[in-house]
Amino acid sequence: MDIKDASSLLAKNWGVKGELSPLPSERDINFKIGGKKAYVLKIYPKVDADLKIRLNLQNKVLIFLQDSSIKVSPAVIPTKKKKLLVTPSKNTAARLLTYHQGKTWGSSSEHSGEQIEELGRLIATVDKNLSKISITKAERKSLNANFIWNMLQAEKLLTWSSKITDNQSRVVVEKTLNNFAKKVLPKLKKLPMQVIHNDGNDYNIIEDGENLSLIDFGDMIYAPKVVGAAVAAAYVGLKSDDPGKQIAQFVRGYHSVNPLSNDELLLFIELVKVRLAASVANAALQRGDNPDNEYLSISQSDAPRTLIALDKSDSNFLLYRLRNAIGLEANPNAKAVRDYLLTKTATNILSKPFDQLKIVYMNWSFDNKDIPRSTQALEELKSKSGADVVIGYYCENRNVYQGEAFNPAATNARTFHLGVDIGMPAGTEVFAPLDGVIELFNNNSTNLDYGPVVILRHKTGSGVPFWTLYGHLSIDSMPSWQIGKEIKAGQLIGRMGTEEENVGWPPHTHFQLLTDLCGMGIDIHGVAPKDEIPLWRGISLNPNLILGIQSGTDAHARISPASIRSERRVVVSQNLSLNFKKPINIISGSGAYLFDEQGKGYLDLVNNVAHVGHGNPRVVDAAATQMATLNTNTRYLHQSIIEYGKALTSSLPDPLSVVFFVNSGSEANDLAIRLARAATKSKGVVALKDGYHGHTQAVVEISPYKFLGKGGAGAPSHVAVAELPDLFRGEFTGKNATEKYLNDLKQSIKSLKQPLSAFFSEAIVSTAGQVVLPPGYLAKAFEIVRANGGVCVSDEVQIGLGRVGDKFWGFELHNVVPDIVTMGKPLGNGHPLAAVVTTPQIANAFNNGMEYFNTFGGNPVSAVIGQAVLEVVYDQKLQLNAKNIGKYLTEGVKSLAKDHPIIADVRGSGLFIGVEMMVDEKTPATKEVAELMEYALSKGVLLSCDGPDNNVLKIKPPLIITNSDVDLLLNVFSDWLGSR
């Protein structure tokens, strides 16, 4: 079919006009339709009953994905008669899909690790959703039909592998396919099956800026999900000299969305190789049948090279990369080796144990501008400190290596030291710490290599092998070395070499503990790529497991922000979010500022935890002093808990006088629920809409912000939700609004299916968008609650300890006295400290014979930290500062609002401020607030947002900020408003 016929078909059936241009395809005819909306017209010239089933199934799948809010794949466009598939002539078919703008993945020569992970997440998202689709027997039969791209049928490729003209490629393809048939396929068939896309090749992935799309569902099959993952992974390393690295990056992204099992992981690399083998074999077949189709040659120059590279790679090392990618320790044997060494005393590697030697550490890191690099420099370091031995750190990021592989400008530069250096004079004897056998040795005489080096093989009590490496020994040590020679613990291995023997290094021994040689033999990395440190930590363990140097050997050098972010996806739960499009790597804080790894400062207007400033010296000193003196639990008498408890309750009105110390605001509110139930013998709770009180199960159940939000299960049977009294955008505004909200509270109490136990509220509702309760509401609400037999809980976790300026506690703004007060974030200035204060009557009701004990709550360190924070607030009059600076900030924002109506409301008290932004009277400025936060970040100001529409800037900085800090915010805010 030509363009003219296609245009006619398009107009007749879909009423769409536009410029048509042909697109490459393996089997069908495709046209792109340009215009305001772009489409793809797909025409199938030879359609039988089976293909028609497959085409209808493709439409079914695409509609299913669209209905599941998966917008990363094409949508099917119905005809004017609402048909999804039309028949232009006998045995033909056509359909229209949306066109995803962008460039193909394969058109780019290189992709970052982040981009490859994103591709993994894309494939995982699609196949995870496809696992939920129901298919008929006929549809499943069509997915299992004979098909050269169905990996479950890959053994058939051997029928035409002889057509591969390159001998090396043919040998590897046949080796891969035979191994698949004998060893892999039987295991693969035992895995759960589902519909998979099966064709995530580099020309079916569309890149549009940061967005990725997956097209062409024509190769779908019914197979284990790992097949679909392996198919896509096969293409990510096509242009790489180290494809295993890119494959692992893909797996990390995939696993973060659709976790892979250990059985799937063990098969993964072989499945990738099978897909590459299929690509090579099928290209040879199809080129013979259709030599003029250029589409069939796409990726074919890269596929055999990548397959050969993977075939040559050490299978263990490839697996270790995958294990590390999904958050497991790289070598599964590492734990057994570590456990063995933790229960075994090794023989001294030197003539004396390290605890009888004075140690000085050498610093060869990038942080040291004066590296003691020569023999003389190390001797001077040792002499000045009076040390017997110099120790070089494990996992130190070093600035002492030369050569292309060690270029620090490269993201994969090998600069992280994997051994421990033991520096002594040349000729110092080195002894075997454990029984072993000489595995390998050599004189690596290249400049700045090891010189003489030997590797011993050992085994755990259960027979798990591991190795120790000794580099920079003397040449005269070598004559006694023989492969397979047994070495007993305490037996002489060799002597430390001179700088000349060590090919440029001062006398020392590089001692390394290895769980595998990774196919590298004597050239196993002694220095790791800086972008794969967690991987190598799981292969080359800290040698101090053997050395036993009590002051430690691990430098814990910083890894890159990109590596941290990547590792975080598999080490930390995915429902723990990060701020900003490109999260910042914060490494220190001082006062009201945080600092990234480059030393750039950010004014912190978000952190109401660092109440008296980041790194407050008075708080730090109190913590360090007490930690060095004593830290234990509350079963012993200790003065600090009494002093702090009394100081805290003295800040509250009578009769709030009994304190319980806990570790977080969530725990405080959890305990408050128990106290209320004990006092009332009831369970019902009323909470305000959009309120949040913590993350424990009991507290999530009384937090509408959570149970009515994404992932929430709705209000539990013992909880009622009262309307939030928001006079700006709430359910009721204007005249008599407060009375209406109080009536709603009464109805909420009546709606409870069991008697009322407690009413939870903040005085300024934080997650709702810093909504200030209207005058008179809280006082009347407390009366209503108490009249119905409940107790009143004031949640001061966010706003207490002087933050609101006019009063020390938020509830005092409303002239009320709660029955229970919960506190948290600011109490410890970053230390996990929280508290619950209540009346003697409620505390007595809780004392029912069941002991309340909290292991860490009220410990001496926490108590002195809390006391120090409280005294800094008092001594530096930070409540007054919150009042004055808060007023200055609020007035400044209100001034900006006069010329910029997007600033719709400015509210709060002291330094707990909300700035609600609206595009118009009914449209929250959600997108604009997000843009402002990113702009402010670029200017060194940290902002965050809250509210159900995320359109309220929340400003809750350390109480020590100054007018000049506020001026910075106002200038940034003004510049952004002016740029709109």
Can you read off the two tokens belonging to residue 495? 């002597």
Question: Comparing C-alpha atoms, which of 60, 54, 77, 216 is closest to residue 130?
Answer: 60
Q: Is 877 helix (H, G, I), strand (E, B) or coil?
A: coil
The residue written with tokens 């994997």 in the block is: 418
Mean of pLDDT values over 758-781: 97
Can you read off the two tokens belonging to residue 334? 């590492």
Name the domain boundary from 876, 896, 923: 876
Q: What is the mean pLDDT of the chain?
A: 95
Can you read off the two tokens belonging to residue 625? 């002093």
> Residue 55 in contact with residue 138, Cβ under 8 Å?
no
Alpha carbon 107 to its chain's center:
29
- The pLDDT confidence band at residue 819, using thresholds 50, 70 and 90, is very high
User: Is 136 a domain residue?
Assistant: yes
The Cα-based distances of 865 to 137, 622, 631, 644, 832 in angstroms read 67, 6, 12, 9, 10
Q: Is the pLDDT of residue 790 over 80?
A: yes
Q: Is the pLDDT of residue 622 over 90?
A: yes
Name the domain boundary from 99, 120, 144: 99
> Residue 257 in contact with residue 288, Cβ under 8 Å?
no
Report pLDDT digits (tens) over 326-361: 999 999 999 999 999 999 999 999 999 999 999 999
Name the domain boundary from 547, 579, 607: 547
Q: Is the pLDDT of residue 920 over 60?
A: yes
Q: What is the pLDDT of residue 291?
A: 64
Q: Is the pLDDT of residue 740 over 60?
A: yes
User: Is 536 a domain residue?
Assistant: yes
CA dist., res. 251 & res. 254, Å (int): 5
CA dist., res. 283 & res. 295, Å (int): 10
User: Is 561 a domain residue?
Assistant: no
CATH number for the domain that contains residue 892 = 3.90.1150.10
| Beta-carbon contacts of residue 844 (< 8 Å; ≥ 6 apart) | none
Can you read off the two tokens belonging to residue 447? 């400049």
Q: What is the pLDDT of residue 109?
A: 87
- The pLDDT confidence band at residue 501, using thresholds 50, 70 and 90, is very high
Q: What is the pLDDT of residue 298?
A: 52
| Beta-carbon contacts of residue 376 (< 8 Å; ≥ 6 apart) | none
User: Is 393 a domain residue?
Assistant: yes
Beta strands in 486-585 (DSSP E): 486-487, 492-495, 509-514, 527-529, 540-541
The H or E element that residue 118 is part of is helix 113-130
CATH number for the domain that contains residue 29 = 3.30.200.20
Angle at 560 between CA 556 and CA 563, to 5 degrees: 95
Alpha-carbon Rg for the chain in angstroms: 34
Q: What is the pLDDT of residue 294?
A: 58
Report pLDDT digits (tens) over 653-685: 999 999 999 999 999 999 999 999 999 999 999
- Whether the model clears a pTM of 0.85, i.e. scores above it, the answer is yes
| Total structural domains within the chain | 5
Q: What is the pLDDT of residue 403?
A: 87
Q: What is the pLDDT of residue 2?
A: 86
Listed in sequence order, the DSSP H helices in 650-767 are 665-680, 697-700, 704-707, 737-751
CATH number for the domain that contains residue 747 = 3.40.640.10
**Domain of 36, in residue numbers:** 3-99
Residues 930, 870: one domain? Answer: no
Question: Comparing C-alpha atoms, which of 449, 18, 104 is closest to residue 298?
Answer: 104
- Cβ atoms < 10 Å from Cβ of 291: 10
User: Residue 252 — φ and ψ, nearest 5°?
Assistant: -60, -45
Alpha carbon 360 to its chain's center:
37
Mean of pLDDT values over 58-81: 93
Residues 661, 671: one domain? Answer: yes
Report pLDDT digits (tens) over 461-479: 999 999 999 999 999 999 9
Q: Is the pLDDT of residue 293 over 70?
A: no
Residues 69, 156: one domain? Answer: no
Q: Give the amino acid at 153.
A: Q
Residues 31, 128: one domain? Answer: no
User: Is 606 a domain residue?
Assistant: no
Residues 240, 308: one domain? Answer: yes
Mean of pLDDT values over 494-517: 97
Mean of pLDDT values over 16-36: 88
Q: Is the pLDDT of residue 405 over 90?
A: no
Residues 495, 524: one domain? Answer: yes
- Cβ atoms < 10 Å from Cβ of 351: 12
Residues 790, 929: one domain? Answer: no
Residues 868, 899: one domain? Answer: no
For residues 24 and 260, the model is more confident at 260
The residue written with tokens 């039969």 in the block is: 141
Q: Is the pLDDT of residue 312 over 90?
A: yes
CATH number for the domain that contains residue 417 = 2.70.70.10
Q: Identify any residues that bridge with 21 across adjacent strands, giving them in sequence order.
A: 32
CATH number for the domain that contains residue 175 = 3.90.1200.10
Angle at 27 between CA 1 and CA 16, to 5 degrees: 45
Residues 871, 890: one domain? Answer: no
Q: Give the amino acid at 799.
A: I
Residues 297, 421: one domain? Answer: no
Q: What is the pLDDT of residue 296?
A: 53
The H or E element that residue 42 is part of is strand 39-44
Residues 156, 79: one domain? Answer: no
- The pLDDT confidence band at residue 27, using thresholds 50, 70 and 90, is confident
Kindly state the percentage of the chain with pLDDT values over 70.
99
Residue 412, judged by CB atoms within 10 A of its CB (0-12, 13-18, 19+), counts as middle
What is the longest distance spanned by two Cα atoms in the chain? 98
Report pLDDT digits (tens) over 831-847: 999 999 999 999 999 99
CA dist., res. 80 & res. 577, Å (int): 44
Check the CA dihedral 720-725-728-732 and report its sign: positive
Q: Which region, left, alpha or beta, applies to residue 833 given φ > 0 means left and ψ of -120 to 50 means alpha?
A: beta
Q: Give the amino acid at 450.
A: Y
Q: What is the pLDDT of residue 300?
A: 63
Question: Comparing C-alpha atoms, which of 506, 513, 476, 512 is closest to residue 494?
Answer: 476
> Residue 306 in contact with residue 318, Cβ under 8 Å?
no
Following DSSP, what letter does each residue of 197-235 receive, concatenated? -----TTSEEEETTEEEE---TT-EEE-HHHHHHHHHHH
The H or E element that residue 547 is part of is helix 544-547
User: Is 47 a domain residue?
Assistant: yes
Q: What is the pLDDT of residue 24?
A: 82
- The pLDDT confidence band at residue 483, using thresholds 50, 70 and 90, is very high
Can you read off the two tokens belonging to residue 32? 């792109």
Mean of pLDDT values over 284-313: 78
> Residue 565 in contact with residue 583, Cβ under 8 Å?
yes
User: Is 62 a domain residue?
Assistant: yes
Can you read off the two tokens belonging to residue 284? 């040879």
Residues 762, 666: one domain? Answer: yes
SS3 labels along 397-408? EECCCCCHHHCC
Q: Is the pLDDT of residue 297 over 70?
A: no
Alpha carbon 488 to its chain's center:
45
> Residue 67 in contact with residue 133, Cβ under 8 Å?
no
Q: Please tell me what DSSP assigns to residue 577.
A: -
Question: Comparing C-alpha atoms, which of 602, 906, 944 is closest to residue 798?
Answer: 944
> Residue 472 in contact with residue 378, Cβ under 8 Å?
no
Question: Comparing C-alpha atoms, which of 671, 660, 706 is closest to residue 793?
Answer: 671
| Beta-carbon contacts of residue 897 (< 8 Å; ≥ 6 apart) | 903, 904, 906
| Beta-carbon contacts of residue 470 (< 8 Å; ≥ 6 apart) | 430, 453, 454, 455, 456, 493, 494, 509, 510, 511
Mean of pLDDT values over 783-791: 98
Can you read off the two tokens belonging to residue 597? 């790894």
User: Is 109 a domain residue?
Assistant: yes
Q: Are strands 791-795 and 756-761 parallel, antiparallel or unpaired?
A: parallel
Q: Is the pLDDT of residue 853 over 70?
A: yes
> Residue 953 in contact with residue 605, Cβ under 8 Å?
no
Q: Is the pLDDT of residue 200 over 60?
A: yes
Q: Are strands 389-392 and 486-487 parallel, antiparallel or unpaired?
A: unpaired
